[in-house]
Protein backbone atom coordinates (compact mmCIF):
# COMPACT_ATOMS: atom_id res chain seq x y z
CA UNK A 1 0.00 0.00 0.00
CA UNK A 2 1.73 3.11 -1.17
CA UNK A 3 0.82 6.67 -2.13
CA UNK A 4 -0.81 6.81 -5.53
CA UNK A 5 -1.57 3.10 -5.37
CA UNK A 6 -4.74 1.07 -5.27
CA UNK A 7 -6.00 -0.95 -2.30
CA UNK A 8 -8.18 -3.96 -3.03
CA UNK A 9 -10.73 -4.49 -0.26
CA UNK A 10 -12.48 -7.87 -0.23
CA UNK A 11 -15.93 -6.55 0.65
CA UNK A 12 -19.38 -6.41 -0.88
CA UNK A 13 -20.60 -3.92 1.71
CA UNK A 14 -21.08 -0.47 0.14
CA UNK A 15 -20.88 1.24 3.54
CA UNK A 16 -17.46 -0.27 4.23
CA UNK A 17 -16.29 0.71 0.74
CA UNK A 18 -17.26 4.34 1.38
CA UNK A 19 -15.40 4.36 4.70
CA UNK A 20 -12.23 2.80 3.29
CA UNK A 21 -12.36 5.14 0.27
CA UNK A 22 -12.49 8.13 2.62
CA UNK A 23 -9.63 6.86 4.78
CA UNK A 24 -7.31 5.73 1.99
CA UNK A 25 -8.22 8.77 -0.11
CA UNK A 26 -6.59 10.92 2.56
CA UNK A 27 -3.42 8.89 2.04
CA UNK A 28 -3.55 9.44 -1.72
CA UNK A 29 -4.76 5.90 -2.37
CA UNK A 30 -7.65 4.60 -4.37
CA UNK A 31 -9.96 1.76 -3.22
CA UNK A 32 -11.49 -1.00 -5.30
CA UNK A 33 -13.84 -3.64 -3.90
CA UNK A 34 -15.66 -6.81 -4.87
CA UNK A 35 -18.11 -4.59 -6.77
CA UNK A 36 -15.22 -4.13 -9.24
CA UNK A 37 -14.67 -7.90 -9.47
CA UNK A 38 -18.22 -9.29 -9.85
CA UNK A 39 -16.86 -12.56 -11.25
CA UNK A 40 -15.33 -13.55 -7.91
CA UNK A 41 -17.52 -15.91 -5.85
CA UNK A 42 -18.71 -15.06 -2.33
CA UNK A 43 -16.42 -16.19 0.46
CA UNK A 44 -18.23 -18.37 3.01
CA UNK A 45 -17.76 -16.76 6.43
CA UNK A 46 -17.55 -19.88 8.57
CA UNK A 47 -14.83 -18.81 11.00
CA UNK A 48 -15.36 -18.81 14.77
CA UNK A 49 -14.00 -15.28 15.20
CA UNK A 50 -13.95 -11.93 13.38
CA UNK A 51 -10.21 -12.40 12.79
CA UNK A 52 -10.63 -15.84 11.22
CA UNK A 53 -13.30 -14.54 8.85
CA UNK A 54 -11.19 -11.52 7.90
CA UNK A 55 -8.19 -13.76 7.15
CA UNK A 56 -10.33 -16.09 5.03
CA UNK A 57 -11.83 -13.23 2.99
CA UNK A 58 -8.42 -11.62 2.42
CA UNK A 59 -6.56 -14.81 1.51
CA UNK A 60 -9.27 -16.20 -0.78
CA UNK A 61 -9.55 -13.03 -2.82
CA UNK A 62 -5.79 -12.34 -2.80
CA UNK A 63 -5.06 -15.80 -4.20
CA UNK A 64 -7.72 -15.35 -6.90
CA UNK A 65 -6.38 -11.93 -7.95
CA UNK A 66 -2.69 -12.62 -7.22
CA UNK A 67 -2.59 -9.25 -5.44
CA UNK A 68 -2.37 -8.12 -1.81
CA UNK A 69 -5.92 -7.81 -0.45
CA UNK A 70 -7.42 -6.21 2.66
CA UNK A 71 -10.52 -7.68 4.32
CA UNK A 72 -12.74 -6.45 7.13
CA UNK A 73 -14.91 -8.64 9.33
CA UNK A 74 -16.90 -6.66 11.81
CA UNK A 75 -20.03 -6.61 13.89
CA UNK A 76 -21.94 -5.52 16.95
CA UNK A 77 -21.67 -7.18 20.37
CA UNK A 78 -24.54 -6.33 22.74
CA UNK A 79 -23.91 -6.88 26.44
CA UNK A 80 -27.47 -7.81 27.42
CA UNK A 81 -27.60 -10.29 24.53
CA UNK A 82 -24.41 -12.01 25.71
CA UNK A 83 -22.38 -10.55 22.87
CA UNK A 84 -24.87 -11.26 20.09
CA UNK A 85 -25.17 -10.78 17.17
CA UNK A 86 -21.32 -10.76 17.06
CA UNK A 87 -19.89 -12.54 14.03
CA UNK A 88 -23.47 -13.13 12.82
CA UNK A 89 -24.26 -9.40 12.66
CA UNK A 90 -24.79 -9.31 8.87
CA UNK A 91 -27.36 -12.15 8.93
CA UNK A 92 -28.95 -11.58 12.35
CA UNK A 93 -32.52 -11.44 11.01
CA UNK A 94 -32.07 -14.53 8.83
CA UNK A 95 -32.21 -15.15 5.08
CA UNK A 96 -32.54 -11.95 3.08
CA UNK A 97 -31.36 -9.87 6.02
CA UNK A 98 -30.70 -6.19 5.41
CA UNK A 99 -29.81 -3.27 7.67
CA UNK A 100 -33.46 -2.42 8.42
CA UNK A 101 -34.47 -6.01 9.25
CA UNK A 102 -31.35 -6.48 11.41
CA UNK A 103 -32.08 -3.28 13.34
CA UNK A 104 -35.70 -4.39 13.87
CA UNK A 105 -34.51 -7.80 15.09
CA UNK A 106 -32.09 -6.18 17.54
CA UNK A 107 -34.82 -3.99 19.04
CA UNK A 108 -37.19 -6.99 19.21
CA UNK A 109 -34.61 -9.09 21.09
CA UNK A 110 -33.95 -6.30 23.57
CA UNK A 111 -37.68 -5.67 23.99
CA UNK A 112 -38.05 -9.30 25.13
CA UNK A 113 -35.74 -8.52 28.05
CA UNK A 114 -37.50 -5.29 29.00
CA UNK A 115 -40.10 -7.16 31.07
CA UNK A 116 -37.38 -8.20 33.53
CA UNK A 117 -36.12 -4.71 34.17
CA UNK A 118 -36.97 -2.02 36.63
CA UNK A 119 -37.40 0.61 33.90
CA UNK A 120 -36.06 3.29 36.22
CA UNK A 121 -33.64 4.70 33.66
CA UNK A 122 -34.33 8.34 32.79
CA UNK A 123 -35.30 8.82 29.15
CA UNK A 124 -33.24 11.12 26.94
CA UNK A 125 -34.77 14.54 26.08
CA UNK A 126 -36.50 13.12 23.01
CA UNK A 127 -38.12 10.36 25.09
CA UNK A 128 -35.79 7.60 23.90
CA UNK A 129 -34.14 5.10 26.25
CA UNK A 130 -30.80 3.31 26.30
CA UNK A 131 -31.27 -0.45 26.36
CA UNK A 132 -27.81 -2.02 26.74
CA UNK A 133 -24.10 -1.47 26.61
CA UNK A 134 -22.62 -2.56 23.31
CA UNK A 135 -19.53 -2.36 21.21
CA UNK A 136 -18.57 -2.52 17.57
CA UNK A 137 -15.64 -4.75 16.68
CA UNK A 138 -13.59 -4.68 13.49
CA UNK A 139 -10.94 -7.21 12.50
CA UNK A 140 -8.75 -6.34 9.53
CA UNK A 141 -6.49 -8.73 7.64
CA UNK A 142 -4.13 -7.82 4.83
CA UNK A 143 -2.80 -10.84 2.94
CA UNK A 144 0.12 -10.75 0.53
CA UNK A 145 0.06 -13.82 -1.74
CA UNK A 146 3.68 -13.26 -2.77
CA UNK A 147 5.08 -13.53 0.76
CA UNK A 148 2.14 -15.70 1.94
CA UNK A 149 1.85 -13.53 5.03
CA UNK A 150 -0.77 -11.60 6.95
CA UNK A 151 -0.81 -8.28 8.71
CA UNK A 152 -3.73 -8.06 11.14
CA UNK A 153 -5.36 -5.64 13.54
CA UNK A 154 -8.52 -5.08 15.57
CA UNK A 155 -10.44 -2.02 16.63
CA UNK A 156 -13.32 -1.35 19.00
CA UNK A 157 -15.74 1.38 19.96
CA UNK A 158 -18.00 1.31 23.01
CA UNK A 159 -21.52 2.69 23.10
CA UNK A 160 -25.09 1.84 23.94
CA UNK A 161 -28.14 0.61 22.08
CA UNK A 162 -30.93 3.19 21.87
CA UNK A 163 -34.58 2.16 21.57
CA UNK A 164 -35.26 3.85 18.22
CA UNK A 165 -33.27 4.62 15.09
CA UNK A 166 -31.70 8.07 14.82
CA UNK A 167 -29.68 9.47 11.92
CA UNK A 168 -29.15 8.53 8.30
CA UNK A 169 -25.36 8.42 7.92
CA UNK A 170 -23.22 5.31 8.04
CA UNK A 171 -24.80 1.87 7.61
CA UNK A 172 -25.77 -1.29 9.47
CA UNK A 173 -26.50 -0.79 13.17
CA UNK A 174 -25.23 2.81 13.21
CA UNK A 175 -28.73 4.36 13.76
CA UNK A 176 -29.12 2.33 16.98
CA UNK A 177 -25.60 2.87 18.34
CA UNK A 178 -25.59 5.69 20.88
CA UNK A 179 -22.34 7.46 21.73
CA UNK A 180 -22.68 9.15 25.13
CA UNK A 181 -19.64 11.37 24.54
CA UNK A 182 -21.30 12.85 21.44
CA UNK A 183 -24.93 12.74 22.56
CA UNK A 184 -25.64 11.32 19.11
CA UNK A 185 -25.89 7.96 17.40
CA UNK A 186 -23.17 6.76 15.04
CA UNK A 187 -25.59 7.53 12.17
CA UNK A 188 -25.72 11.16 13.34
CA UNK A 189 -21.94 11.57 13.00
CA UNK A 190 -20.36 12.86 9.81
CA UNK A 191 -18.23 10.31 7.94
CA UNK A 192 -15.10 12.07 9.25
CA UNK A 193 -16.35 11.99 12.84
CA UNK A 194 -17.23 8.32 12.56
CA UNK A 195 -13.87 7.41 11.08
CA UNK A 196 -12.03 9.23 13.88
CA UNK A 197 -13.61 7.06 16.60
CA UNK A 198 -14.99 3.94 14.94
CA UNK A 199 -13.88 0.34 15.32
CA UNK A 200 -12.90 0.44 11.63
CA UNK A 201 -10.94 3.67 11.99
CA UNK A 202 -9.12 2.30 15.05
CA UNK A 203 -8.33 -0.99 13.33
CA UNK A 204 -7.07 0.78 10.22
CA UNK A 205 -4.85 3.04 12.32
CA UNK A 206 -3.34 -0.02 14.02
CA UNK A 207 -2.81 -1.77 10.68
CA UNK A 208 -1.09 1.25 9.10
CA UNK A 209 1.26 1.52 12.09
CA UNK A 210 2.47 -1.99 11.38
CA UNK A 211 3.19 -1.07 7.78
CA UNK A 212 5.45 1.88 8.54
O1 LIG B 1 -18.38 -9.48 4.43
P2 LIG B 1 -18.42 -8.21 3.65
O3 LIG B 1 -18.58 -8.44 2.18
O4 LIG B 1 -17.27 -7.30 3.97
O5 LIG B 1 -19.74 -7.36 4.07
P6 LIG B 1 -20.74 -7.70 5.28
O7 LIG B 1 -21.78 -6.64 5.34
O8 LIG B 1 -21.23 -9.12 5.15
O9 LIG B 1 -19.79 -7.52 6.51
P10 LIG B 1 -19.49 -8.53 7.72
O11 LIG B 1 -19.59 -9.93 7.26
O12 LIG B 1 -18.22 -8.05 8.34
O13 LIG B 1 -20.69 -8.24 8.69
C14 LIG B 1 -20.66 -7.05 9.43
C15 LIG B 1 -22.03 -6.56 9.79
O16 LIG B 1 -21.93 -5.88 11.04
C17 LIG B 1 -22.49 -4.60 10.98
N18 LIG B 1 -21.46 -3.55 11.01
C19 LIG B 1 -20.12 -3.67 10.79
N20 LIG B 1 -19.52 -2.49 10.83
C21 LIG B 1 -20.48 -1.59 11.09
C22 LIG B 1 -20.49 -0.18 11.23
O23 LIG B 1 -19.39 0.54 11.05
N24 LIG B 1 -21.64 0.41 11.49
C25 LIG B 1 -22.78 -0.30 11.62
N26 LIG B 1 -22.88 -1.62 11.47
C27 LIG B 1 -21.72 -2.26 11.21
C28 LIG B 1 -23.23 -4.51 9.66
O29 LIG B 1 -24.56 -4.91 9.84
C30 LIG B 1 -22.52 -5.54 8.78
O31 LIG B 1 -23.34 -6.09 7.80
MG1 LIG C 1 -19.96 -10.70 5.29
pLDDT at site 42: 92
Residue nearest ligand 1's atom 13 by CA: 90
Q: Which atom of ligand 1 is nearest to the CA of 74?
A: 12
In the chain, pLDDT over 90 holds for what percent of residues? Answer: 91
Whether residue 143 is predicted with pLDDT greater than 80 in this model: the reply is yes
In contact, 102 and 89? CB cutoff 8 Å = yes
Is position 68 within any domain? yes
- What stretches of 54-147 adopt beta strand conformation (E)? 69-78, 130-144
Instruction: Name the residues annotated as catalytic.
Output: 73
- Position 2 scores a pLDDT of 58
- Return the CATH number at 148: 3.90.950.10
Mutation test of ligand 1: which of 11, 75, 197 has the most ligand atoms closer than 8 Å to its C-beta? 75
Residue 107 lies in a domain: yes
Asked, for residue 1, whether it belongs to a domain, the answer is: no
In the predicted model, is pLDDT for residue 119 greater than 70?
A: no
**12 touches ligand 1 (CB under 6 Å):** yes
Residue ID of nearest Cα to ligand 1 atom 6: 13
CA of 89 to the centre of ligand 1 (A): 7
pLDDT recorded at residue 179: 98
Going by CA atoms, what residue is nearest to atom 15 of ligand 1?
90
Domain of 127, in residue numbers: 6-211
Ligand 1 site, residue 185, Cβ cutoff 6 A: no
Does residue 191 surpass a pLDDT of 90?
A: yes
Over pLDDT 70: what percentage of the chain?
Answer: 96
Quick: pLDDT tens for 44-95: 999 999 999 999 999 999 999 999 999 999 999 999 999 999 999 999 999 9
**Contact residues for 148 (Cβ-Cβ < 8 A; gap 6+):** none
Best mutation site among 18, 172, 176 for ligand 1 pocket (most ligand atoms within 8 Å of CB): 172
Whole-number Cα distances in Å, 178 to 88, 121, 124, 158, 187: 21, 15, 11, 9, 9
Tell me, yes or no, whether 155 lies in a domain.
yes
Cα-based distances in Å from 29 to 16, 56, 67: 16, 24, 16
Q: Residue 64 falls within a domain, yes or no?
A: yes
The confidence score (pLDDT) of residue 212 equals: 81
**ipTM surpasses 0.95:** yes
Task: Provide the whole-model pTM.
Answer: 0.96
In this predicted structure, what is the pLDDT of residue 136? 99
Residue 1, pLDDT above cutoff 70: no
User: Domains in the chain: how many in total?
Assistant: 1
Amino acid sequence: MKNGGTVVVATKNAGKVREFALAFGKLGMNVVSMFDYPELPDVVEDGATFAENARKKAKTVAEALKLPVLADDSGLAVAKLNGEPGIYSARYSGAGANDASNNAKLLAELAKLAGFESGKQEPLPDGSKLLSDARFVCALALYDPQTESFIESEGYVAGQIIDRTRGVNGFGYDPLFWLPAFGRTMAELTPEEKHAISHRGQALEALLQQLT
